[in-house]
């Protein structure tokens, strides 16, 4: 093997390692976001507005960090793609390499976490809307419930004597 080919191979291995590390960090952050969503659900169920606000502030910070980590992962993916083209490989993640299997497993974890986060977020949105509906006044209905017996009003007639 030529020195340039060895250099490219090492660069490709570094890109694999960088992508693996970036995925590991992103999974960790997504688990924190999911835990935050579970805490939000509890705060909504307990109608604890102060705790809910604190959780939302913390989550907004987490989302910023997650956004930066996703950018790092995308950069690592682009770098791996460039290395794959330079080495004239057919696959970016060959199935016979251990590091590729680790990356694919982490990508599966990422997708599963994303599904769980979306589900929990929908549940929290429904709880939030339910809480808003409770704050509003109940709707007035002039008609009685069909199973409720209608009571007639008692009328009292009074007569005055002329005197």
Choose among 37, 31, 25, 56: nearest CA to 113.
31
Angle made by CA atoms 35, 112, 82, in degrees to the nearest 5? 110
> The whole model's pTM is what?
0.74
pLDDT band at 84 (very low <50, low <70, confident <90, very high): confident
**Per-residue pLDDT tens over the stretch 4-46:** 777 878 888 888 899 999 999 999 999 999 999 999 999 999 9
Is residue 105 pLDDT above 80, yes or no?
Answer: yes
Instruction: Please determine, for residue 149, whether its predicted confidence score (pLDDT) is greater than 70.
Output: no
Out of 3.90.1570, 1.20.58, 1.10.1660, 1.20.140, which CATH number does the structure's domain 3-135 have? 1.20.58
- Which tokens hold the place of 27? 């999974």
Instruction: pLDDT band for 60, please (50, 70, 90 cuts).
Output: very high
- What angle in degrees, to the nearest 10, is found between the helix axes of 3-45 and 49-86? 160
Contact assessment for residue 22 and residue 73, using Cβ atoms and an 8 Å cutoff:
yes
CA angle in degrees (0–180, nearest 5) for 126-123-38: 125
Task: HSE, CB side, 13 Å, CA atoms: give it for residue 50.
Answer: 0
The answer to whether the CB of 127 falls within 8 A of the CB of 44 is: yes
């Amino acid at each position: 093997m030529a020195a340039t080919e060895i250099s490219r191979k090492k660069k490709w291995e570094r890109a694999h390692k960088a992508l693996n590390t970036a995925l590991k960090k992103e999974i960790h952050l997504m688990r924190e976001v999911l835990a935050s969503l579970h805490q939000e659900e509890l705060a909504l169920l307990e109608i604890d507005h102060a705790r809910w606000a604190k959780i939302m502030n913390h989550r907004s910070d987490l989302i910023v960090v997650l956004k930066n980590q996703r950018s790092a992962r995308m950069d690592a993916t682009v770098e791996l793609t460039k290395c794959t083209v330079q080495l004239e490989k057919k696959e970016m993640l060959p199935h016979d390499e251990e590091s590729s299997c680790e990356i694919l497993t982490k990508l599966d974890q990422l997708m599963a976490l994303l599904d769980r986060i979306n589900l929990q977020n929908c549940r929290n949105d429904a709880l939030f809307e339910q809480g808003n509906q409770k704050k509003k006044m109940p709707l007035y209905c002039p008609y009685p419930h069909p199973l409720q017996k209608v009571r007639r009003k008692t009328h009292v007639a009074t007569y005055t004597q002329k005197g």
